[in-house]
Chains A and B, each alone.
Chain A
C-alpha cells in the first residue's frame, strides 16, 4: 500500500465529512506510521515535543496581549488614532493593519503571532467600520505573514541552521523583499477597498483631531514604542517582548485607562486558551505528519524532476516555488522549511544559486502556506478572531496571494535586489 497516497486520502475524506482539521491530520498520520512500521508511541511523543520550542510561546502571549489591550481600552485609542490619520481614505483601516503588521513583524519572528497580535486589535475595528469579516480577516492573515519575512524571523533562522548560512545576513536580505511585499499588500488592500467601498466614511482629515487622538492615546502608542525600543536597545529579546507586551497591556488597562476588570482579564485568558487550543493544537499531529514526509522520502522523489531543467536556474527556482506552494497547503510551515531545505539545498547550491537568496526565496514561498487551506495557521488565527469560517477567510485571502506570487517570480529571474543589502553591509560572501 502506498503510504503517502493513503495518508492523503484519509486526510481529505475525514476533513470533508467534518472531522476537525488537527484530528484529520492525526488520523492520516496513524495510517502513515502503520504502513512504515514504526511504534505508534511516535504520535504520543510528538503530541508533546511539538510544543517544546521557546519561541512558540510568543503566539499565545501576543494573542493575550491583544485581548488585554482590547478589553483595557488601548485598542480603541489605537483605532481612533489610525481613524483620524487615514479614516478619510478608502481602506484606511485595512492599510493601517498592513503597516502595523510590517512594524510588528520587525519585532516578532512568527507569522501567526503577527496575525494574532495585530488582528486581535484591528479586525474588530475593521468589522465595526463595515468591512466584510472575511476581508478583514484576510488582510490580517496576509499582513501577518510579513512576520516571517521581515527580521527577526523564525523561518529564516530554521533555514540558516539547516543550511549553515549566516543568520544576520539572511535577516538583512529579508528587509527589502519584506518592505516591497508590504507595499504590494497595501496596493491590493486599497484597490479592493475602493471596489467594495470599505471604509472612508469618516469626515475629512483634520490635524486638530489627529493631535487630540494622539494625546488621548499616548499610552496606547507607548506599547509599540516600549516593545520596539526594548528589543532594539537590547533591553530584552523578542520572545521576552511578548511577555512585556502582556504586562504593559495589563498595566495600562488596570491603572491608566482603568477599563480592565477581573472579568475582562479572565475572559482574555479564556479567549487565548481557545485560540491556541484550536490553532496551535494542530502542531501536535502535524509534526508526526512531517516526519512521515521525511521517512517516505517525498522531497527526494520530487527532486528527481529537477534533472529535466538542467542548469536553467530560474526554471528550477520556479519549479521549487510551485512545489513549495503546493506542499505548503498540506504541511505546517516550520516542518516544511526543515524537511525540504535539507533535501533541496544541495541541488540548489550545486547550481550556483546564492544560498542567501534561496533562503529568502524559501521563506517567501513557504510563507504562502500560512495562507492556504487546509493547513494554514494564519488563516486559522484570522478566522478565530473575525469569527468566520476557514472557507470564508480562505476565499478572502486569494487576492492577497498575488503580491507573494509576483515577488516569487521576480526573485526567480533576478535575485540581486535581495542579496545586495547583506553584501553591502558585510561584503560579498567569503
Chain B
C-alpha cells in the first residue's frame, strides 16, 4: 500500500501539479473573455491567477525535467571526452548544479522570511504575495529530491546513463 502511494507520487506528482497550473491559467484567461462579453465585466485577479499558474507550470515543469533529464545542456564537449573522464565531469557538473539549487533554496527561504515580515497584497486577489511565492522553495526542494533520485537509480543500475 505505502509502496504503491510512493510509486504513484513518483510518477505523477509534478505532472499533476503542472497540469492543474496550466489548466487554471488557460481557463481563467478564457473566463475573462467570456466575462467581458457575456457580463460586460472584467476582473483584475485574472491576470494574477494566470501568472501564478504559469510560474507553477514553469517551476514544477523544471522539477519534472530534472527527473526526465530534459534540461537544456551542451553535450558535445562531454561526448568528445573519453568515458573515464566523462563520468566524473558529469558528476562535477551535477554537483555544481545541485549546489546552485541548494543556494537558491537558502536565498528563497531568506526571501520568504522577509515576505512574512512585510506586506505585499496582490491588488486583484487581495492575498499576500508570500503564498504564491511558496511555489519556488517547494519546487526547489522537489528538484533536489529528483536529483538525488537520478543518482540512486544510476548507482543501483536502474539507469545506465547519467544524462
Chain A residues with CB under 8 Å of chain B are 14-23, 26-27, 30, 40-41, 43-45, 47-48, 51-54, 56-57, 60-61, 64, 235-236, 239-240, 242-244, 246-247, 266, 269-270, 272-282, 284, 373-374, 380, 383-384, 389-391
Please tell me if the beta carbons of A19 and B64 are within 8 angstroms of each other in the complex.
Answer: no
Sort A-B residue pairs by CB-CB distance and give the 3 closest, nearest first: A277-B61, A273-B18, A273-B61
Q: What's the minimum C-beta distance from B69 to chain A, rounded to whole angstroms?
A: 10
The one of A14, A40, A244, A389 in contact with B96, judged by C-beta atoms closer than 8 angstroms, is A14
Please tell me if the beta carbons of A380 and B72 are within 8 angstroms of each other in the complex.
Answer: yes
In the complex, A51 Cα to B57 Cα: how many Å? 11
In the complex, A61 Cα to B96 Cα: how many Å? 33
- Provide 26 A-B residue pairs closer than 8 Å at the C-beta atoms, listed in order of the A residue: A16-B74, A16-B77, A17-B92, A17-B96, A20-B71, A22-B71, A22-B72, A23-B97, A43-B103, A44-B136, A51-B54, A61-B25, A64-B22, A235-B33, A235-B37, A243-B29, A247-B26, A272-B57, A273-B61, A276-B58, A277-B70, A278-B61, A280-B54, A284-B58, A390-B74, A391-B74
A270 and B29 contact, Cβ closer than 8 Å, known pairs A21-B72, A21-B73, A390-B72: no
Q: How many A-B residue pairs have CB under 8 A?
A: 188
Please tell me if the beta carbons of A269 and B19 are within 8 angstroms of each other in the complex.
Answer: yes
Please tell me if the beta carbons of A274 and B97 are within 8 angstroms of each other in the complex.
Answer: no
Q: Main SS of the interface on chain A?
A: helix
Instruction: Give the residue name and chain of the A residue nearest to B113 (CB).
Output: A41
Please tell me if the beta carbons of B74 and A43 are within 8 angstroms of each other in the complex.
Answer: no
| B55 sits at the interface (CB 8 A) | yes
Please tell me if the beta carbons of B26 and A61 are within 8 angstroms of each other in the complex.
Answer: yes
Please tell me if the beta carbons of B78 and A389 are within 8 angstroms of each other in the complex.
Answer: no
The one of A16, A23, A277, A282 in contact with B60, judged by C-beta atoms closer than 8 angstroms, is A277
CB neighbours (8 Å) of B68 from chain A are 274
Stretch binding the partner chain, chosen from B1-9, B104-112, B151-159: B104-112
| B128 sits at the interface (CB 8 A) | no
Chain B stretch 96-137: residues in CB contact (< 8 A) with chain A: 96-97, 100-101, 103-104, 107-108, 110-111, 114, 133, 136
